[in-house]
């Protein structure tokens, strides 16, 4: 008999029970991080911003074919010159994304997605056939698209950061206010 009246089977059972309790508690903690949010409306703005595209320096490429037969060598070389180009000015698109959401406590939150965040992106509707979209072009080539009735999404919230799991992958927004 083992000390303190516990046999080897009882010791294994106690260890197994403790392990199960710890795994269950960690699973509950991980599940608590996920929430569901309803995305009522999104606004996606495509701004055409001025941009200077860099030029390129002149490029010279030489290619030679050579052969040796006995004591004689022959070679044939071709040179290609690509001229330098000057910088040019033009327009480049910049995207701004925002949304109106209903959080689990039924509060209404305004969400913004900032372009410097690499996880920034548009929220795709869960069921496109149940949502409606409208796009309007404005002066200067800018476009504003509004989509309504996008659906309910899984999300993770950390203070004011909200990662939303969409049909096209996860996107990161920040809660900036209420509506």
Specify whether the CB–CB gap between 149 and 160 falls below 8 A.
Answer: no
Pairing of strands 161-166, 169-177: antiparallel
pTM: 0.62
Which residues of the chain are modeled with pLDDT < 70?
Answer: 1-32
Specify whether the CB–CB gap between 10 and 16 falls below 8 A.
Answer: no
* Straight-line distance from the first to the last Cα atom of the chain, in angstroms, rounded to the nearest whole number: 69
**For the chain, where are the alpha helices, taking DSSP H only?**
8-33
Q: What are phi and psi of 140, to 5 degrees?
A: 85, 5
Res 11: pLDDT:
53
**pLDDT tens-digit profile of 121-134?**
999 999 999 999 99
Q: What angle do CA 116, 118, 124 make, to 5 degrees?
A: 110
Res 24: pLDDT:
45
Q: How far is CA 153 from CA 31, 76, 126, in A?
A: 15, 66, 8
Res 111: pLDDT:
98
Res 1: pLDDT:
46
Specify whether the CB–CB gap between 125 and 164 falls below 8 A.
Answer: no
């Amino acid at each position: 008999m083992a000390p303190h009246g516990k046999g080897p089977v009882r010791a294994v059972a106690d260890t197994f029970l403790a392990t199960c309790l710890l795994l269950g508690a960690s699973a509950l903690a991980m599940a608590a991080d996920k929430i569901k949010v309803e995305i009522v409306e999104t606004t996606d703005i495509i701004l055409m911003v001025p941009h200077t595209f860099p030029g390129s320096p002149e490029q010279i490429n030489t290619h030679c074919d050579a052969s040796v037969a006995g004591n004689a060598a022959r070679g044939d070389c071709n040179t290609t010159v690509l001229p330098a180009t000057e910088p040019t000015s033009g327009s480049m698109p910049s995207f701004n994304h925002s949304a109106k959401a209903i959080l689990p406590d039924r509060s209404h939150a305004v969400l913004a997605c900032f372009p410097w965040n690499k996880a920034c992106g548009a929220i795709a509707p869960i069921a496109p056939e149940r949502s409606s979209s409208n796009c309007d072009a404005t002066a200067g080539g800018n476009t504003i698209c509004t989509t309504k009735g996008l659906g309910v999404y899984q999300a993770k919230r950390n203070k004011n950061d909200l990662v939303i799991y969409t049909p096209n992958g996860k996107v990161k927004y920040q809660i900036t206010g209420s509506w």
